[in-house]
Structure 1
Amino acid sequence: MTQSNQRRIFLMTLASGVAGVSTLAQAQALVDEKDPQAATLGYVADAKRVDTKKFPKYAAGQVCSNCALYKGKATDKAAGCPLFGTKLVQGAGWCNAWAKKA
């Protein structure tokens, strides 16, 4: 193998690794409370800040980590939620779609 081919293979390998890291980083992004979907659902990263006048359904103790939609373990700091695609929600967060986990 020539030095030129070795460099080419190295650069292609490096580029594919960087693309993989970029995809992983995007998949691990947290939901922004200002995101239109989050705002519509009243999502807050900390359930202690829920506007109870606007969302009277909220009850103390309701957090993402004990919601039926939360895709992580109850002890996970953040995990996926089907309502927000590939973004993660905070375990201590809350939104108006909260449903008791069975």
Structure 2
Amino acid sequence: MAARETKSTERRKFLNTALKGIAVAPLGFILPVTDVLAAKGVPSNDGISSEIAKLPENDRQAKALSYKEDATMVDTAQFNRKENQFCSNCQLFSGSPGDIWGPCAIFSYRAHPSIKKPFEVSANGWCKSWGPRAA
């Protein structure tokens, strides 16, 4: 009798889990489409902006690395910045050529709290972690 109750309980658990999976499966098709549309800049109806998440200069990590959106504002005497050093030609910058803003390996793992997108840095910016891009 105990074996029969165990099989019945296991069958109920299986059916319960399977039915939940079937009910949730359509969401797997809906959610990725909204992410693709947001990446293309198509406005969504969920109230979340499709803007990029610009890294603020007053961010704690940005301050620690002396990040500036405009590299010409960096004190070259204090930080030994050369004239041709910008985020756009840094090995950590992964934006496409010509992009005004792009992802940086240092900051891209963090997301803007309100729009939930990874922070991006200015292509014309600079920080102490600048390193030449490999040829």
The corresponding residue for 1:8 is none
Counterparts of 1:91 and 1:36 in 2: how far apart (Å)?
20
Structure 2: 5+ residue runs without aligned partners? 1-33, 35-43, 109-117
The corresponding residue for 1:101 is 133
Number of positions where the alignment pairs a residue of Structure 1 with one of Structure 2:
83
Q: 1:50 aligns with which of 62, 68, 74?
A: 74
Counterparts of 1:46 and 1:96 in 2: how far apart (Å)?
13
* Residue 62 (structure 2) pairs with residue 38 (structure 1): yes
3-state SS of paired residue (1:39):
helix
Q: 1:90 aligns with which of 111, 115, 122?
A: 122
Superposed displacement of residue 24, structure 1: 4.9
Superposed displacement of residue 75, structure 1: 1.2
Structure 1: 5+ residue runs without aligned partners? 1-15
Counterparts of 1:53 and 1:71 in 2: how far apart (Å)?
28
Structure with more contact order per residue of length (Cα contacts < 8 Å, sep ≥ 6): 1
Please list every run of at least 4 consecutive aligned residues from structure 1 whose deviation after the TM superposition is greater than 2 angstroms.
16-19, 21-25
The corresponding residue for 1:22 is 48
| Native 8 Å contact 1:69 1:99 kept in 2 | yes
| Native 8 Å contact 1:74 1:91 kept in 2 | no
Question: What percent identity do the matched residue pairs reach?
Answer: 35
TM-score with structure 2 setting the length:
0.55
TM-score with structure 1 setting the length:
0.72
Counterparts of 1:44 and 1:84 in 2: how far apart (Å)?
14
